[in-house]
């Protein structure tokens, strides 16, 4: 296969959305310009069903590399998902999933990233691999041998391990094997490069160590930057903060969620989440003004995932609902049961992520029935039999007709 070594395309890959390249950016530039076909992978543990724009950034970069002619591997961590990458956000280890659960999640993920990466391209398709194929075949002797390449001190230097230990939270023995298993993926696939987020740097470096020791081969690591508010430092794609833009959002919800982003987030969202050139982005942000530039951003991204027609309709709905303060025409209807509460309905319809989220929105005055704010006492009472259709609203974007 012919490899495209266009220096402008290579430079775009090296500078856009990238936080760090190891061992160096110059060495990776040389490799991309050499004409040699590189084997590059991104690994994903499908521990949930939804991806957000932060995840999509990685697949957009991977697609650019695929278009240059390089071999791109989409590795599904159907084995490592069942171990669970440790987190410092919980008092205990992640719930261990079954392989069937992981594969089911993977199917939804592939559908969600399909708009930004041509997985089944006829000439250079993405290679799908599952690390169960080699990790499940390792013997205990193999694992002991792999473990001998690292010290306990090296493993617990991982920042989230240090935080767990410092805060007195448990650190389970099986969690120490996660970097080892993910590192072995690089060896099993004999890769030239890995792409990951900043939170996976430790695991990617474990792969560099194993590949060097076991195959005397160097591996490049492309670390992508997080989507973060440049002023507050908060994550743009936070479900808990209500700022996430998820790929399985409806067109209206995606457009509205993007319009809800802070103005200072626009530059990075344009650069990391669209195909527009730096020149086009500069023209938009310098000439349209913040509101119109954000509307262009919202339409651009919504078009990528839902098509131009759906994005145009979403924009029209946004203007009618938020700028003209009208109720949208195409509200989903929900058949209620007399014993249900408004809190139940908010969660069942997906307007609220949990009962606590519903209560928090109610306490903040963000939940209304036919334009009137709902109190917590009213929301916790059975709704009874509705004689007429009523409009349930949460915040500025979520409407549902109760019948």
Lowest mean pLDDT among 37-51, 200-214, 386-400: 386-400
CB atoms closer than 10 angstroms to residue 307: 13
Question: Worst-scoring range by mean pLDDT, 4-18, 187-201, 334-348?
Answer: 334-348
Q: Tell me the whole-structure pTM to 2 decimals.
A: 0.76
Both tokens of residue 164?
Answer: 């767990």
In the sheet with 367-369, reading across from the earlier edge strand, the strands are 333-334, 398-402, 390-394, 367-369, 372-373
Q: Which of 295, 283, 302, 296 is nearest to 319 (CA)?
A: 295
* Domains of the chain, earliest start first: 7-224 (3.40.50.620), 251-323 (1.10.240.10), 333-402 (3.10.290.10)
Confidence of residue 86 (pLDDT cuts 50, 70, 90): low
Question: What is residue 74's three-state secondary structure?
Answer: strand
* pLDDT average, residue stretch 24-52: 91
The whole-chain average pLDDT of the chain stands at 87
pLDDT at 92 over 50: no
Residue 256 has pLDDT above 80, yes or no: yes
The number of C-alpha atoms within 13 Å of 118 and in the hemisphere containing its C-beta is: 13
- Contact status, residue 400 vs residue 349, Cβ threshold 8 Å: yes
Q: Sorting pLDDT into bands at 50, 70 and 90, what band is 378?
A: confident
User: Mean per-residue pLDDT for 12-31?
Assistant: 95
Q: What is the pLDDT of residues 233-244, one digit of tens each?
A: 888 887 666 678
For position 221, what pLDDT does the model report?
A: 97
Least confident of 88-102, 154-168, 309-323: 88-102
Q: Kindly report, residue by residue over 5-15, the tens digit of the pLDDT.
A: 999 999 999 99
Peptide bond into 141 cis (omega under 30): no
What is the pLDDT averaged over residues 77-90? 65
Phi, psi for residue 144 in degrees, rounded to 5? -60, -40
């Amino acid at each position: 296969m012919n490899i495209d070594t266009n220096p402008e395309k290579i430079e775009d890959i090296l500078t856009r959305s990238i936080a760090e390249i190891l061992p160096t950016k110059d060495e990776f530039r040389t490799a991309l310009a050499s004409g040699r076909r590189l084997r590059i992978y991104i690994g994903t543990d499908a521990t949930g069903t939804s991806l957000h724009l932060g995840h999509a950034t990685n697949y957009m970069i991977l697609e650019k590399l695929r278009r240059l002619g390089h071999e791109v591997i989409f590795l599904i961590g159907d084995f490592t998902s069942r171990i669970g990458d440790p987190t410092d956000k919980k008092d205990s280890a992640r719930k261990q999933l079954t392989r069937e659960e992981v594969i089911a999640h993977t199917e939804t993920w592939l559908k969600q990233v399909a708009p930004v990466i041509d997985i089944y391209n006829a000439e250079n398709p993405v290679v799908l691999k599952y690390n169960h194929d080699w990790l499940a075949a390792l013997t205990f002797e193999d694992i002991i041998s792999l473990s001998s390449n690292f010290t306990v001190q090296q493993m617990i230097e991982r920042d989230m391990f240090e935080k767990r230990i410092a805060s007195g939270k448990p650190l389970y023995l099986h969690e120490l094997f996660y970097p080892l298993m993910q590192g072995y993926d690089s060896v099993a696939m004999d890769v030239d490069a890995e792409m990951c987020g900043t939170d996976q740097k430790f695991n990617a470096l474990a792969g560099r160590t194993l590949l060097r020791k076991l195959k005397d081969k160097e591996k490049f690591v492309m670390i992508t930057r997080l989507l973060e508010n440049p002023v507050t430092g908060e994550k743009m794609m936070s479900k808990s903060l209500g700022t996430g833009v998820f790929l399985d959002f409806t067109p209206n919800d995606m457009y509205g969620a993007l319009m809800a982003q802070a103005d200072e987030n626009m530059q990075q969202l344009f650069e990391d989440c669209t195909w527009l050139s730096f020149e086009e982005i500069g023209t938009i942000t310098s000439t349209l003004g913040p509101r119109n530039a954000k509307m262009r951003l919202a339409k651009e991204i919504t078009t990528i995932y839902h098509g131009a027609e759906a994005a145009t309709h979403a924009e029209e709905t946004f203007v009618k609902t938020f700028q003209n303060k009208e109720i949208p025409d195409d509200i989903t209807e929900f058949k209620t049961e007399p014993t249900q509460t408004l809190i139940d309905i908010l969660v069942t319809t997906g307007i609220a992520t949990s009962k606590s989220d519903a209560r928090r929105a109610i306490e903040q005055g963000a939940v209304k029935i036919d334009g009137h704010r709902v109190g917590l006492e009213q929301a916790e009472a059975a709704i009874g039999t509705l004689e007429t259709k009523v409009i349930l609203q949460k915040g500025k974007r979520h409407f549902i007709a109760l019948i």
